[in-house]
Amino acid sequence: MAKNKIVILGAGITGLTTAYWLRKAGIEVEIVEARSEAGGSMQSERKDGFLIDYGPTSGLDTTPLIGRLVEELGLQPQLIFANQEAKKRYILKNKRLISLPTGPLSFLGTDLFPASAKLRLLKEPFVKKTDPTEDISIADFVRHRLGEEFLTNAVDPFISGIYAGNPEKLSVKSAMPRLYALEEKYGSLIKGAIAGARERKKSGETSKQSAQQFSFKEGMQTLPRALAASMNDSIQYDSVVEKIEQNEKGFRLNIKQNNEVRVLESEFVLSTIPAHRLSKTIQMMDESLAQHLEAIHYPPVMVLYLAFRRSAIRQPLDGFGFLIPGQERRPFLGAIWSSVIFENRAEDEYATFTLFVGGARKPDLLKDDLEAKKKEVIKEFKQLMMIAEPDDPVLMESKVWPRAIPQYNIGHALHEAYFQQFEETHPGFFIGGNFRGGISVSDCIKSSDRLSQQILEFVRNRS
């Protein structure tokens, strides 16, 4: 067993980026990945001239770590930023696509919120703080500070677009800690947003609201592919972790690869695989940990990629796309106008779209006839986008994620507390992944930096 070698479970963005930082610091790494390629949910494919992202379609440049990675990996020629048109975002309300206001004047003139909701916003700085001892939902937090209309017409569709989640169940402290921190620190979201902008300027970070969207010419999987290429032969693909045990030397892992089981031993292990997968492998070590992991809900999501002739579309293509509030009762969550946001997604005569179906609003999605569901969604989408009948998609591709995005629901803080306790009582075992520290690409990259520093400090103290 090599000294100062760490086994990392999962070649998604968190595992790969943590491995990258550790290798730079002189730590030997071995990555175990169940799939035959790197990237996790970041999966990109070019088909018939169209570029498809089946997972994250973009990232937000909120941290200098992203630029550092891009530069060190030589990806500057591949890096692209969103077009100006993508700044406009639409919400569906009463069968109309209404753009989200971007400033005070547009807010006053928007049809998205009634006059009562606009007046309600003026009261926000004077609303008392929520009880800090309670783990309340995003929905209750927003109702308290901003009112029901903001929840229904802005926050609910936003949560569906980011988490595919339910704001009535998601914990504001766990799922949106920065938002909650504004109230906790400043007593007001409006006051906090102003003060927070000053603090971010000093730290070099950017808020998610003002950060540039980025991707790569060949899609988001470009980044994990480049990270994997820098690992040389350190990644073992098609390898499934079946069992993890602790012994006097550290940790013993049973790895199944090509129908053969081999044993890996290491003083240090970092898991970045989904919570439900880690749960199945770690029961022998800690049954309580397995239960906490299994309790984290991942709703199903179907990604539906469509291409149409631009000439058939009467809806102006001048934005990021649109999100759908739950009260509209549509068969999908929203649509990203992929070819508007980034260049090189399709030839000029075509427009491409990425639609999302299922999520926490439709937890039984997998019980549906998915082919019938696709037809229903396409029909609704064509109506909303005013696509001429009987024009059919030039290209249609889909991918179903049976367990898509971890939900930071009420009670998630109890899971997080147990994860920390487990790491303390099982020194050398570290738990990462997008069910800790945030689900976005930039959140995962920031988490990988924290993980690598935590691991390096631990290794140095053990040496």
Write the pLDDT tens digit of every residue in 323-360: 999 999 999 999 999 999 998 999 999 999 999 999 99
Higher-confidence residue: 202 or 305?
305
Which residue's structure tokens are 């060949």?
Answer: 218
Same domain, 330 and 419: no
Whether 102 has a pLDDT exceeding 90, the answer reads no
DSSP 133-177: TS--BHHHHHHHHT-HHHIIIIIHHHHHHHHS--TTTBBHHHHSH
Reply yes or no on whether the pLDDT at 203 is more than 60. Answer: no
The reply to whether 304 and 397 lie within a common domain is yes
Interhelix angle 189-203/177-186, nearest 10 degrees:
110
Same domain, 289 and 305: no
Q: Look at residue 208 and tell me whether its pLDDT is greater than 70.
A: no
pLDDT at 1 over 50: no
Residue 55 falls inside a structural domain: no
Q: Is residue 378 located within the same domain as residue 417?
A: no
Q: Is the whole-model pTM more than 0.85?
A: yes
DSSP codes of every residue in 192-258:
HHHHHHHHHHHHT---TTTSPEEEETT-TTHHHHHHHHTTTT-EE-SEEEEEEEEETTEEEEEEEET
The whole-angstrom separation of Cα 435 and Cα 293 is 9
Give a yes or no: residue 71 inside a domain: no
Residue 269 C-beta-side C-alpha neighbours within 13 Å:
28
Does residue 323 lie within any of the structural domains? yes
Calpha distance 347→54 (Å, rounded): 19
Say yes or no: 366 and 434 in one domain.
Answer: no
Is 452 within the bounds of a domain? yes
Answer yes or no: do 21 and 155 share one domain: no
Ramachandran angles phi, psi of 168, nearest 5°: -75, -20
**207 has a pLDDT exceeding 80:** no
Q: State the average pLDDT for the chain.
A: 93
- Comparing 201-205, 369-373, 414-418, the range with the smallest average pLDDT is 201-205
Angle at 45 between CA 43 and CA 48, to 5 degrees: 160
Alpha-carbon torsion angle 261, 267, 270, 274, nearest 10: 40
- Same domain, yes or no: 195 and 325: no
Q: What pLDDT, on the 0 to 100 scale, is given for residue 248?
A: 87
Nearest residue to 235 (alpha-carbon basis) of 383, 19, 447, 456: 19
CATH number of the domain encompassing residue 134: 1.10.3110.10
- Report the distance separating Cα 422 and Cα 277, nearest Å: 17
User: pLDDT for 363-375, tens place per residue?
Assistant: 999 999 999 999 9
Residues 437 and 457 in one domain: yes
Residue 95 inside a domain? The answer is no
Encode pLDDT of 10-51 as tens digits.
Answer: 999 999 999 999 999 999 999 999 999 999 999 999 999 999
- Listed in sequence order, the residues at least 6 apart from 271 whose beta carbon sits closer than 8 Å to its beta carbon are 8, 9, 10, 278, 429, 430, 431, 432, 433
Among 363, 382, 401, the domain boundary falls at 401
Residue 303 domain boundaries:
299-401
What is the rounded CA–CA span in Å between residue 66 and residue 448? 11
CATH number at residue 349: 3.90.660.20
Answer yes or no: do 432 and 357 share one domain. no
Residue 226 burial (10 A CB sphere; 0-12, 13-18, 19+): buried
Distance CA 345, CA 338 (A): 7
**Cα–Cα distance between 334 and 321 in angstroms, integer?**
8
What confidence category does residue 462 fall into, taking pLDDT thresholds of 50, 70 and 90?
confident
Q: Which two structure tokens, joined as six digits, stand for 168?
A: 């009535």
Q: Are strands 268-271 and 5-9 parallel, antiparallel or unpaired?
A: parallel
The stretch 420-433 carries a mean pLDDT of 97
d(CA 158, CA 154): 6
Does 86 map to a domain?
no
Model pLDDT for residues 266-300, shown as the tens digit of each residue: 999 999 999 999 999 999 899 999 999 999 999 99
Burial state string for 393-427 with b = 16 or more CB within 10 A and e = fewer than 16: bbbebbbbbeebbbbbbbebeebbebbeebeeebe
For residue 197, pLDDT beyond 80: no
386 with 430, same domain? Answer: no
State whether 254 and 397 are in the same domain: no
| pLDDT of 25 | 94
Would you say residue 98 lies in a domain?
Answer: no
**Domain count along the chain:** 3
In a domain, 83, yes or no: no
Residues 310 and 362 in one domain: yes
Closest to 405 in 3D by CA, of 178, 179, 212, 159: 159
